[in-house]
């Protein structure tokens, strides 16, 4: 029996998770500790009537986990040499779940380890933690017409997850409910949240109370050393809690331009090496999952040729290391020794560039700081380089900048 408590001035909440791993346990009626206090605040502001939820997948008042046959399995993951890199002998999962799904959930999404106070071992616990918290948030924020509707939503959402009709992104499984269900806290100050009382975004004093639940973050960067380093720090914290991040680096001046003091800029590729190493050392969600990162550069940037070929050049270095006897497996010495392995790269192409390719015309790159012409290329030659690099190592991809912006603006 695992019991977790959290207190505030109004209530003491007790959450019970049964020994069988039933995350439902006695907790269907449990609420986050500030739930009713929050609900009253919304009622004072004249909240809308709220939505009503009709049961579809789970009968009213029923246990959403009771409709599945449950079994205890051994979850195990091996590398390409057959060495075991993860094993858990006591994983409870629905009988009809595949071993692949079981291995992923057990190795990536269950919270806790051998020496932690809370250690999840059942899909019931994981699904309950997430579904209960989201339903309670909806009730607290005035989305539901009644508490009964909130509980119905909980059962429906839990059924969707258990029967694999849908699934959340990784940060939701990593983070949501750790405070609300288990009472865990984190002193990390990297998260921000919307404060309904002040009507403003505030920094959270507890990243478990206000968890990071978005899968992808798009970040801008200014052409200053301070902001470039700020981006590296922000990316590290986003990776820590399981999210991915992407940045267009076209705002950074090229290595072919000048600094205000007369020196030569490092250019985007030099800073990409820094970002790549940050992604390499910070495991996503604190687990063995690799960080997810994307970088793009506009096709008119003066460093575009270096950007197009950088990952191909590193791939060929890895081949040389493999030929010399270094381990070429995923995570082996060969690929761990070369750069840009932790990012997906894309060239942002415009309609004018694609038209130049079609017409076999010239293409000009332009300085970031002045907009002046820097160099001419044959547009088809640039496209050929993109195709060759992608054939060798899968990057860069193409991002149709003009079309995307036309569609969404």
- Give the span between the Cα atoms of 231 and 220, in whole angstroms: 8
In a domain, 73, yes or no: no
Q: In total, how many domains does the chain have?
A: 2
Q: Which phi and psi (to 5°) does residue 346 adopt?
A: -140, 140
Same domain, residue pair 195 and 229: no
Question: Would you state the pLDDT for residue 11?
Answer: 29
Residues 93 and 233 in one domain: no
Task: Based on the fold, state whether residues 242 and 342 are members of the same structural domain.
Answer: yes
Cα–Cα distance list, 126 to 15, 17, 23, 104, 251 (Å): 14, 11, 7, 13, 42
CA–CA dist 118, 17 (Å, integer): 11
Assigned domain for 109 exists? yes
Q: State the Cα–Cα distance between residues 88 and 92, nearest whole angstrom.
A: 10
Same domain, 260 and 391: yes
Q: Are residues 118 and 13 in the same domain?
A: yes
Q: Does residue 278 belong to any structural domain of this protein?
A: yes
At 237 the pLDDT is 87
Return the SS3 of 251.
coil
Q: Of 165, 180, 203, which residue sits at a domain end?
A: 203
- Residues 97, 167: Cα–Cα separation, whole Å: 13
Q: Per-residue DSSP letters for 22-71? A: -SSTT-TT---TTHHHHHHHHHHTT----B----SSS-TT--TTTTS-EE
> Where is the domain boundary, 157, 182, 203?
203
Helix axes 379-393, 351-359, angle to 10 degrees: 100
What local confidence, expressed as pLDDT, does residue 259 receive? 79
Tokens of 45: 């502001």
Whether 208 is covered by a domain: the verdict is no
* CATH number reported for the structural domain that contains residue 381 in this entry: 3.20.70.20
Segment holding 4, helix H or strand E:
strand 2-7
Q: Is residue 78, in this structure, part of any structural domain at all?
A: no
The answer as to whether 77 is a domain residue is no
Look at residue 191 in the predicted model and tell me its pLDDT: 83
Spatial separation of the C-alpha atoms in residues 237 and 239, rounded to whole Å: 5
The Cα 34–Cα 206 span in angstroms is 15
For residues 332 and 397, membership in a common domain is answered with yes
Domain assignment of residue 81, yes or no: no
Q: Are 260 and 142 in a shared domain?
A: no
Are 121 and 110 spatial neighbours (Cβ–Cβ below 8 Å)? yes
Same-domain status, 15 and 137: yes
Final residue before a domain boundary, out of 203, 231, 266: 203
Tokens matching residue 202? 């505030």
Could you tell me the residue range of the domain that residue 322 belongs to? Answer: 216-408
Going residue by residue through the chain, which has 409 residues, state the pLDDT in tens, using 9 for 90 and above: 233 333 332 222 333 343 334 444 334 334 444 444 445 445 544 445 899 999 999 999 999 999 899 999 999 998 777 888 889 999 999 999 999 999 999 999 999 877 888 999 999 999 999 999 999 999 999 999 999 999 999 999 999 999 999 999 999 999 999 999 999 998 887 788 888 889 999 998 898 999 989 989 999 999 999 999 999 999 988 888 888 899 999 999 999 988 777 778 889 999 999 999 888 888 655 555 667 889 999 999 999 999 999 999 999 999 999 999 999 887 789 998 999 998 999 999 999 999 999 999 999 999 999 999 999 999 999 999 999 999 999 999 999 999 999 998 7
Whether 84 is in a domain gets the answer no
Q: How far apart are CA 236 and CA 278, in angstroms?
A: 6
Q: Looking at the structure, tell me whether residues 157 and 234 fall in a common domain.
A: no
Pairing of strands 2-7, 373-378: unpaired
pLDDT confidence of residue 29? 36
Q: Are both 198 and 223 inside the same structural domain?
A: no
pLDDT of residue 117: 86
Residues 389 and 268 in one domain: yes
Contact 238, 211 (CB under 8 A): no
| Same domain, yes or no: 104 and 249 | no
């Amino acid at each position: 029996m695992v019991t977790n408590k959290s207190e505030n001035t109004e209530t003491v909440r007790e959450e019970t998770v049964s020994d069988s791993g039933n995350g439902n346990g006695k907790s269907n009626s449990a609420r986050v500790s500030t739930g009713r206090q929050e609900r009253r605040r919304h009622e004072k502001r004249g909240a809308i009537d709220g939505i009503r939820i009709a049961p579809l997948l789970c009968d009213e008042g029923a246990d959403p986990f009771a409709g599945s046959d449950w079994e205890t399995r051994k979850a195990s993951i091996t590398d390409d040499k057959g060495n075991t890199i993860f094993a858990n002998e006591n994983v409870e999962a629905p009988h009809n779940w595949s071993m692949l799904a079981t291995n992923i959930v057990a190795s990536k999404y269950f919270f806790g380890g051998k020496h932690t106070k809370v250690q999840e071992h059942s899909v019931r616990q994981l699904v309950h933690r997430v579904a209960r918290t989201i339903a309670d948030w909806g009730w607290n924020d005035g989305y539901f017409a009644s508490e009964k509707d909130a509980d119905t939503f909980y059962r429906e959402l839990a059924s969707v997850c258990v029967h694999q009709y849908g699934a959340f992104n990784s940060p939701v499984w990593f983070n949501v409910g750790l405070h609300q269900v288990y009472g865990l806290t984190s002193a990390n100050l990297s998260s921000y949240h919307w404060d309904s009382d002040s009507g403003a975004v505030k920094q959270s004093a507890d990243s478990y109370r206000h968890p990071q639940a978005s899968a992808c973050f798009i970040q801008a960067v200014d052409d200053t050393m301070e902001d470039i380093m700020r981006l590296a720090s922000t990316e590290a914290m986003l990776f820590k809690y399981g999210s991915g991040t992407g940045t267009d680096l076209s705002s950074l001046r090229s290595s072919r331009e000048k600094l205000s003091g007369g020196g030569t800029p490092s250019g985007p590729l030099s800073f990409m090496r820094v970002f790549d190493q940050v992604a390499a050392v910070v495991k996503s969600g604190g687990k063995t999952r690799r960080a997810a990162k994307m970088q793009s550069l506009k096709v008119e940037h003066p460093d575009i040729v270096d950007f197009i070929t950088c990952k191909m050049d590193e791939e060929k270095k890895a081949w040389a290391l493999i030929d010399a006897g270094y381990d070429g497996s995923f995570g082996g010495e060969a690929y761990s020794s070369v750069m840009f392995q932790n990012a997906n790269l894309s060239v942002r192409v415009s309609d004018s560039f694609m038209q130049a390719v079609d017409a076999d015309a010239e293409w000009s790159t332009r300085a970031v700081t002045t907009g002046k012409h820097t160099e001419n290329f044959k547009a088809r030659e640039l496209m050929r380089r993109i195709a060759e690099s992608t054939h060798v190592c899968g990057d860069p991809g193409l991002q149709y900048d003009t079309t995307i912006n036309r569609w969404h603006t």
